[in-house]
């Protein structure tokens, strides 16, 4: 099994498109309060992403991700809320996991791959749900519109992973699994807080 397949298998265990929170969103069954909570809480995680790219010495992508935080702020603003410090335990745990994994090269590669490999499809699903079921200002769509196109971050990460010595691959795969699990658990926390 090659390292890409190993990474993708870890992600598949926690495929975010299968999560009840995103499924409710894409079906228009998620209450707007759930979207607001997501914008506030998950936004705190979104603000950590540039750090992962900085650890990889990719200042260009880090700068892009910083600009994307502003798009997330527009998403929150369109819901009459704003990014705040996470209060839900599972989201706090996601942020701590991200900070830890984003601090070292190998773990940053695995953690970012987990997020970036899923982002185009999850963004497409969320964008479609917003457009079809929610009467909200257009600015709530920009973040997801932008991320529904594959900008090839996952491919770039795979290329860098392939250049690591093979003994580092397990650390990358472990980080990918940790991030995948933390992302899934954060959605569960938000879902339980607002939808159950």
Rounded Cα–Cα distance for residues 9 and 117 (Å): 12
Rounded Cα–Cα distance for residues 155 and 135 (Å): 35
Rounded Cα–Cα distance for residues 107 and 84 (Å): 26
Rounded Cα–Cα distance for residues 92 and 98 (Å): 10
Rounded Cα–Cα distance for residues 147 and 120 (Å): 6
Closest residue by Cα to residue 33 from 189, 186, 196, 194: 194
pLDDT at 107 (0 to 100): 98
**What is the pTM assigned to this prediction?**
0.96
pLDDT in tens, the chain (196 residues): 588 999 999 999 999 999 999 999 999 999 999 999 999 999 999 999 999 999 999 999 999 999 999 999 999 999 999 999 999 999 999 999 999 999 999 999 999 999 999 999 999 999 999 999 999 999 999 999 999 987 789 999 999 999 999 899 999 999 999 999 999 999 999 999 987 6
Q: What Å distances lie between residue 164 and 63, 69, 170, 179, 188, CA to CA?
A: 24, 30, 11, 20, 34
Q: What Å distances lie between residue 177 and 143, 167, 181, 183, CA to CA?
A: 25, 17, 6, 10
Cα–Cα–Cα angle for 22, 73, 79, rounded to 5 degrees: 60
Rounded Cα–Cα distance for residues 56 and 143 (Å): 23
């Amino acid at each position: 099994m090659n390292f890409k397949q190993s990474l993708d298998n870890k992600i598949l265990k926690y495929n975010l498109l299968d999560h009840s929170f995103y499924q409710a969103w894409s079906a228009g069954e998620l209450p707007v309060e759930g979207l607001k909570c997501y914008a506030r809480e998950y936004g705190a995680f979104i603000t950590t992403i540039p750090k992962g790219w900085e650890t990889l010495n990719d200042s260009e992508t880090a700068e892009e991700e910083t600009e994307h935080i502003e798009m997330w702020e527009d998403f929150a603003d369109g819901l009459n809320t704003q990014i705040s410090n996470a209060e839900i335990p599972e989201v706090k745990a996601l942020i701590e996991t991200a900070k830890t994994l984003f601090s070292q090269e190998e773990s940053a590669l695995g953690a970012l791959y987990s997020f970036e490999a899923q982002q185009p499809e999850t963004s497409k699903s969320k964008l479609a749900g917003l457009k079809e079921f929610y009467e909200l200002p257009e600015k709530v769509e920009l973040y997801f519109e932008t991320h529904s196109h594959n900008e090839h971050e996952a491919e770039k990460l795979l290329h860098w992973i392939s250049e690591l010595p093979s003994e580092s691959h397990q650390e990358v795969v472990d980080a990918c699994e940790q991030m995948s699990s933390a992302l899934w658990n954060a959605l569960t926390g938000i879902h339980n807080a607002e939808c159950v």
